[in-house]
Amino acid sequence: MDAVAIVPVDSLDIAVRVWHPDAPHTVIAWHGLARHGGDFEQLARLLGPKWRVLAPDTPGRGLSSWSFYPAQEYLYAHYMKVALAVLDHFQLDSVPWVGTSMGGLLGMLLAADSEAAPRFQCLVLNDVGPELEPQALAQMATYFATLKRFSTFAALKEALKENYRGFGIDQESEWDAMATASARRLPDGAWTFHYDPRIGEQFIHDTPRDMWSDWAQIRCPLMLIRGEQSPLITPESVEKMRQAQPEMTTLEAPGCGHAPMLNVESQVTPLRHFLEHHVPEAKASLWQRLTERIKQR
């Protein structure tokens, strides 16, 4: 990242990671349940210097504060408040949103909200939708709700590789970087992950709702990226999403489960084209498009 901004929301400090801070166009990138904004490093670099990428760390993750009141603050309703505070802090009236997993659900809720909806130019959902497989959700809730303790850094890295194999990462250097950015020391010198184990309480306190109703309310342009082997969102669910939103753009990421890392050109180039189409002033020049085609040959 190129900078970090701290946005105060109630008693919490929200860290927002920034790439290309002087770029003319801005996109919000919001991470998944137990991740942090640093996951969008490669996305930011591949999108290029025209795009300022703002990637907040949700409360309880990364560089943001941990909550003393998980039952009130590790909830989507509070994350919506945090998101709007971030938009206000950066004086963003309307912006594209890219959301992985939880970050995509948060984007859906905001884009379906009558007051927040005008602030969305478009919405990209990364391996998430209004209908998620219950078994996959239960496995996530069980795993992330307990403190993980590793005697060595190597053991922590192996646990990351096992739990995030669906990201489609195939470079050892990327796993090294991810492990370094995801680790913290415990008082006894052991290793654990960056997040507050109590984030898993969201599965207890958050009230379930019919997300299909929210999905039908969204009016901004939509793009769905699905991991080819995703256990969380099925092809049948994708088709149902398309029936309700027939203009939705879709992309399937080969070799990925939950969720594509957005770290390779085959994923980022279509995403960038989608953003440029719906942020017309960001569209690449003819020369830039020709150069890109030559590189892809």
Q: What is the pLDDT of residues 182-207, one digit of tens each?
A: 999 999 999 999 999 999 888 888 87
**CA–CA distance, 39 with 98 (Å, rounded to integer):** 12
Residue of higher predicted confidence among 280 and 270: 270
Tell me, what's the pLDDT at 294?
59
Cα separation, 262 vs 259, whole angstroms: 9
3-state secondary structure of 191: strand
Would you state the pLDDT for residue 287? Answer: 55
Task: Please give the structure tokens belonging to residue 36.
Answer: 């942090």
pLDDT of residue 205: 86
Residue 63: CA count within 13 A, CB half-sphere:
18
Report how far Cα 59 is from the mean position of its chain's Cα atoms: 14
Of the listed ranges 141-145, 212-216, 242-246, the least confidently predicted one is 141-145
CA dihedral 105, 257, 136, 103 (to 10 degrees): -20
| DSSP category for residue 150 | B
The pair of three-digit structure tokens given for residue 147, joined into one six-digit string:
């403190």
Beta strands in the chain (DSSP E): 3-9, 12-19, 25-30, 51-56, 95-100, 120-126, 183-185, 191-193, 222-227, 249-253
CA distance 185 to 278: 43
> Mean pLDDT, to the nearest integer, of 94-101?
98
Residue 133 pLDDT exceeds 90: no
What is residue 197's predicted lDDT score, i.e. its pLDDT?
92
The strand pair at 3-9 and 12-19 is best described as antiparallel
Output the average pLDDT for the chain.
93
Terminal-residue alpha carbon distance, the chain: 30
User: In which residue are the tokens 């590789």 written?
Assistant: 161
Closest by CA to 37, choosing from 51, 10, 19, 21, is: 19
Query: Is it the case that residue 17 has pLDDT exceeding 60?
Result: yes
- Residue 138 banded pLDDT, cuts 50, 70, 90: confident
Q: DSSP code of 67?
A: P
Length of the chain: 297
Q: How far is CA 29 from the centre of its chain?
A: 6
